[in-house]
Amino acid sequence: MSGLGKATNDGIVVSGMMSFVQALCMEAIAEGVEIAEQAARLLEIGCKVAQGYYFSEPLPPQGASELVSSRAQRVSSL
């Protein structure tokens, strides 16, 4: 299993937490996603919501609204 962060056991811990969350019929939000490989691994183990620098740097409220609107327009045009 590939690691997600800097620690050797990160991948094992995150997979275990996702199993726990799914067993409780809850949804997890991953924080601190910085690279594409982390985002891909999270999707593989069932985490559908994430945030971090991979997606965007911190933004003021107006900037966040514009980012969400622009991405929603791209998705709806597919």
Residues forming the active site: 31
Beta-bridged to residue 50, according to DSSP, are 30
Buried b (16+ CB within 10 A) or exposed e, 18-50: beeeeeeeeebebeebeeeebbebbeebebeeb
